[in-house]
Structures are given as C-alpha cells and as structure tokens.
Structure 1
Amino acid sequence: MLRGLLAAAFGSVLVATSGAAHATDDVTIGVDFNILGSQVWVAKDKGFFEKNGINADVQPFAFGIDTIDAALTGQLDFGLALDFATTTRLQSGQLKIVSAIIEPEPGFHKLAVSEAIQKPEDLAGKRIGLANGTAQHLVTLSYLKNAGVDPADATIIPLPSLLEIIASLRAGRLDAAFVWGDGVAQASEIPGFRILGDDKPAKVRLYGYISTTKAFAAENPKAVENTLRALAEATDWMDDNFEEAVDIVASHAKSPRDRVKAQMEIQHFTISLKPEQLEGFEKIADFAATNGITKARVEPGDFIDPSFLEAVDPARVSLAK
C-alpha cells in the first residue's frame, strides 16, 4: 500500500515537473514594418521563442512608437522604439524598459533636399519638415545648429510622421526634410529632389529599447525573462549568421532585401543595458523637456529595470546599481 502511494506521488511529481518544463507563455510583441524588431523575427522563425517557453504573436505596426502606444493600451505585451519616442511615453508612468535592442550608428536619417539646396548652409530661409516628437526632431535641430543655421532663420514645419513628410515633399510644400526607412527611396524618386547627405553631422547617438508595462511585468516576470532570453539567443545567432538573418527580416519587412541589409548593417543589435545608453537617454530627456515635447523632464533611469536581464545573463548588464 505504502509502495503504491509513493509510486503515485512520484508519478505526480514527474507529471508536474514535465508540465513546468514545457509550460508556455503567450505574449504579443510589436515590431515595425522595417528592421526595428529584427531579433524578434529571428527568434520567431528560428525557434528561440519556442525553445524558451514563449508563444510569441508578432504584430507589425507602421512605426516603433505605435507599438509603445499599443502596449500602453493593452493591445501588446511588449513594444519596441527608439529612446526619443520612448521618452515621450514615459510620462504615462506605466512603462518598464527591460533592455536595449539596437545601438545604431549615425546615418539612419537622410536629408532630402530640393535643387535650390546645394550645401547645408543653404537650409537657411527654407521650409524644413519636422517629424514632431520623434528622433528626427532632435536630428533636424541638431543638424541645423551644427551647420551654423539658426532654426529661427528657417521655416520649420511640424508634421506628425514620415508619411506626411513624403506627401509634403511631393506637393512642393517643403524644401527639405530628413527621411528614413522606405522614405529614403520615396524621396529620391520625387522630381527635383535628391539626398544631400545623412544625419552624421548632427552628432546624435540614439538607441532602441524593448519595453513592457509595469502591470505586465509584475504579473508575468518569467514571461519577461524568457522573452529576453530568446531575444538574447537570437541576437547572438545573428552575429554568426548575418546573411540568413537578413533573409528572415526581409521576408517580413516592407522593403527590398538590399535596403534591409544596408540598414541592418548599421544597427549593432544587442540585448544589454549599459551606462552609455542611459547617458544618451538622459540627453534626450533634457532636449524633450527644453523643447516642450514633454510637459516636464522625465527620469529615464526610473523606468529601466535591469532585474529581468540580469536573471538571463548578468554580463549583459553594466548599469550602476
């Protein structure tokens, strides 16, 4: 009798243990239609999510900021966006930043100009499109100042997004604007416009992050941890299999493979939290507050939680405690 009870109990333990080993968490992750979310697609297609007990529903959005908004409204569990866009949403008090995902080189934004503009100094007195409250906002103003052009001496025209910038260039309502992603090819095809250069002279370094909400992280800490573990493995795999990674991302992106590859080559994919990333975040928070993009200055460090990534791999976190 005792032997039977012990056998039954042992069998129950095996069943419970087996169930825990194969337990899966359903998560929804937002990416953009371009390359922001490359590791997510790789983790999905190469099985890193499944390996780590994550059933990931990947949902593409037009822009990274849209994924953050979707997370804040409960449509997604995770959103991905550059630090500038993320800063504007920290005012909600609901976000939790769990890792950086890209450390892109400058050069992502390209300056589309009319024939009347031959050099950066010619931007004085011209109509310049500004994607208000985005990284392009900071890049544009920094570029003008570094070119010796006072933004007050140009006509700055705020627009909500890249779509409106391209439409305004086509309609002749703008003389110049920084564009990015598919907008580069679209602007290049507009009669009378060309790409003068990129955003390197702006001397702005941006980073991209994956965020969730405080509520989701509190209720699903293992799902957050395992999602990061899968993305870390995907990132490492991409380092050794870049061309195949390009194939995977290009199969999901709304851009030709050559453009996807060119952009992926300057992204420096990462799953990490570093002091230099936070330093860049702080500068953006200063800019956002000074220029009225946020009502008050936010403290990015208050929203970064390294505990999940530390549980995955302490070596990936070098932020001061």
Structure 2
Amino acid sequence: MKQEELIMKKRMLGLLLTAALVLGVTGCGNTTEKKTTEQAKGSSEELTTEAGETQTVRLGVWTGGIDHYLAVVGTEQGIFQKHGIDLETTEFASGINTIDAIVTGQLDIGMIADFAGVNRIGNTQDNFDSKIIGRYVTATSWGLYVNEDEVKDLSDLAGKGFGTIPGTITDYYAALTYEKAGIAADEQKLVNIDSTQAMLGVVDSGEVVAGWSSGASAKKLEEHGMKKFLTMDDLGISVDAYYVASKDILTEHEDLVEDFLAAIKETEEWITANPEEAAGIVENKIGIPKDQAAANIEASTLLLDFKQDSVDHLDGIKEWAVGAGMFEKDYDIKDFVDTTALGKLFPDAVEN
C-alpha cells in the first residue's frame, strides 16, 4: 500500500476515534484490543528481571484518551525506559474495558473515569479487588448546548426534550442541570439517544432542545444550530480519570507501581511544558490530528494525586447513583483506593 494511503487511513481513524471519545464516559461497549508492543507477558510474575534491566508493565489505555497520550509520549521521550519500565500498551474501546482485563489477569494497570468507576465498583463491590492508585487528569471541557430559539433561560428546559445517553455521565449532568434550574421531576423530559448521529437527528427534528457534549460532537451540534449555554464550571463539576492497579502488582511489585507513577508524573510535566510537540507525537503515533490533540491537551489539567477533593468528587457521583437506583448497596470509596506508592513518591499528592 502506498505511504500516502497509509497516512490517510491513519488520519481518518484518528478522526473517528476522537468523535467517539467525546460522547463521554459510557462504561459500556464491546472491547477492542490492540497490542502496541511486540510481545505479551503472561502474568505479573514475569515482571521481575535482573537488576538494572527494565521490567514490563502491562498497561491498558482508552484508545485516543489522555491516558493513551501519556503512554505514547512517555514512551517516545524515553521516560518509561528511564524509570526501568518496558511499557506494553493495549488499547481498548472504553476505559471500563481495561478494568475487565485487569480482573482476567491480562493487565497490571488500567484506567477508569469517575462515573464509570463509581458504577462498576457499586455493581461489583464484593468482588472488586483492584485499587485506584491516583488521579491523572481533570477536565471541564463539556458544555450544555441548546437551541437558542427554545431556551433563553434554564427554566425554559421544563417540558422540553433533553438528550442523554442512558446509564452514563450525561444522565448525571442532566440531573444537575434540572436541579440548578429548579425544574420538578414531572416537568423533566429526557430523550434517550445512543450516539452523536442520533443526537443530531433529534436536534434537527426539534424533539431535543438541549444536551451535554464536548469536542468533535459539540462542534457538530454547533453546525446544527446549537449554542453553548452552560459550562461545567457553572455547575462546579469536572470529569476526572484515575489509574487502577491489580491486586497482584500492588502486593508483589509495589516498587514497580512507584516507577510507573514516577514516569507518568515526568511525562505529564513534559507534555505541559511542550504541548505542541506532544500533540505532534500523538498525531504520529495514534493518528489523531495535531490540532485536535492540542485542543484535548489544552482542555485537560494533568496532575497526579488523590486527595479529599477526589473522594468528595466520587462520593457526589456515588450518592446520585445510589439515589438513581444504579446499584443497591452503598460503599466507602476509600475501601477501593491504595495511595501507598503515590504517597511514598509525592507526599503532598495525598491526604496526610
């Protein structure tokens, strides 16, 4: 195949992946795996090598997500190698699928976003033995998009179609919007959709006059006449994502978890200092257009911590999920967190 055709296909894939990502954290979907190292390791027991050599960490990433950016940039810049890690990256169609792979022993570390994580833990809490080891990104890139002819004040949403993807973070954002607007339950009119294309259809038909979106999907809504009316900052919320580690690597190779987190921290600092160069690496390695990668980096605050604000953030989502009947039994989020490695490296990044 000619080189030009390869590049074009890669760019097209990047555009499709970017569009898919902005639907939000759904916590569902079929698993799509893609190995990005030459060989796979069978279990965490194979992590130990001779002194001075690198050790393999099997990392699962959400294809095209910020965690994917960190993996490819850190590898390209030699940061993981510097910290003694041979990073074996496997791509998945959604972050929640990385947790499934940890449970089945395919991965050592994966990622989970706030809403999907709260929901997964809530529905599997008696058997969920992986642990959150740190938050790596927070963002406020979502917005409420409305038909300005129909919505001039939040109260105008009463009795009018509000698009949402059922069982996802958009349900939560819709609930917070109604709460801010003071709209009673009998005046709330949620319209369930399952894709950006479906959202555009109900917007064009007039069935929906509002919905939360971001990135490429938000741009499409704007092309169909919708305007940003509310930001996440207006609601005092954010979308956060976390690294999750298997029980085996935490109990048997805590030093390797420390090495991984040290490499992530250094990679985040490099991306923050070199956003344009980082976006170029992402385009070359993943296929997401450089301008879109740069916009995603700009919309994200890279950090590595887990403090009380993270507990409060997850608790807020959990309380709503319990009330919405998404799972039956409440739980303490701290029971599913292990910041031992993070605290050893960066004491100020955890609660004392």
TM-score normalised by length of structure 1:
0.81
Aligned residue in 2 for 1:30: 61
Distance 2:69 2:222 in 1: 25
Structure 2 residue corresponding to 1:183, chosen from 202, 217, 236: 217
Distance 1:159 1:217 in 2: 39
Q: Is the 8 A contact 1:309 1:316 kept in 2?
A: no
- Give 1:169 deviation, angstroms: 4.3
**For the structure 1 residues 171 and 231, does the alpha-carbon distance in structure 2 shift closer, same or farther, using more than 3 Å as the test?**
farther
Aligned residue in 2 for 1:96: 131
Is 1:212 the equivalent of 2:212?
A: no
Is 1:84 the equivalent of 2:115?
A: yes
Structure 2 residue corresponding to 1:50, chosen from 70, 76, 81: 81
DSSP 3-state at the match of 1:207:
strand
Is 1:146 the equivalent of 2:180?
A: yes
Q: Which has the larger radius of gyration?
A: 1
Amino acid of the structure 2 residue aligned with 1:317: A
Alignment of 1:189-208 (within 5 A): 189-190=223-224, 192-208=225-241
Is 1:39 the equivalent of 2:70?
A: yes
Q: Is the 8 A contact 2:304 2:349 kept in 1?
A: no
Aligned residue in 1 for 2:159: 125
Distance 2:280 2:167 in 1: 32
Is 1:59 the equivalent of 2:90?
A: yes
TM-score normalised by length of structure 2:
0.74
RMSD between superposed Cα atoms in Å: 2.8
Distance 2:347 2:169 in 1: 29
Structure 1 residue corresponding to 2:257, chosen from 224, 240, 244: 224
Alignment of 1:230-269 (within 5 A): 230-252=263-285, 255-269=288-302
Q: Is the 8 A contact 2:62 2:91 kept in 1?
A: yes
Unaligned regions of 5+ residues in structure 2, if any? 1-48
Question: Residues 33-64 of structure 1: CA distance to partner in whole angstroms, max 9, x if unpaired?
Answer: 24344322321221111222222233333433
Aligned residue in 2 for 1:314: 346
Distance 1:263 1:317 in 2: 24
DSSP 3-state at the match of 1:76:
coil
Distance 2:52 2:200 in 1: 50
Is 1:278 the equivalent of 2:281?
A: no
Structure 2 residue corresponding to 1:303, chosen from 328, 336, 348: 336
- Give 1:141 deviation, angstroms: 1.2
**For the structure 1 residues 278 and 124, does the alpha-carbon distance in structure 2 shift closer, same or farther, using more than 3 Å as the test?**
same
Structure 2 residue corresponding to 1:294, chosen from 327, 331, 344: 327
**For the structure 1 residues 199 and 240, does the alpha-carbon distance in structure 2 shift closer, same or farther, using more than 3 Å as the test?**
closer
Question: Residues 51-83 of structure 1: CA distance to partner in whole angstroms, max 9, x if unpaired?
Answer: 222222333334333433443344433222322
- Give 1:204 deviation, angstroms: 1.7
Distance 2:197 2:88 in 1: 26
**For the structure 1 residues 163 and 303, does the alpha-carbon distance in structure 2 shift closer, same or farther, using more than 3 Å as the test?**
farther
Distance 2:283 2:146 in 1: 28
Q: Is the 8 A contact 1:109 1:136 kept in 2?
A: no
Q: Is the 8 A contact 2:61 2:67 kept in 1?
A: no
Amino acid of the structure 2 residue aligned with 1:303: F
Amino acid of the structure 2 residue aligned with 1:96: K
**For the structure 1 residues 170 and 58, does the alpha-carbon distance in structure 2 shift closer, same or farther, using more than 3 Å as the test?**
farther
Distance 1:229 1:35 in 2: 17
Is 1:157 the equivalent of 2:188?
A: no
Distance 2:94 2:279 in 1: 20
Q: Is the 8 A contact 1:126 1:155 kept in 2?
A: yes
Amino acid of the structure 1 residue aligned with 2:88: D
Aligned residue in 1 for 2:17: none
Amino acid of the structure 2 residue aligned with 1:120: L
Q: Is the 8 A contact 2:56 2:88 kept in 1?
A: no
Unaligned regions of 5+ residues in structure 1, if any? 1-17
Q: Is the 8 A contact 1:43 1:49 kept in 2?
A: yes
- Give 1:259 deviation, angstroms: 3.4
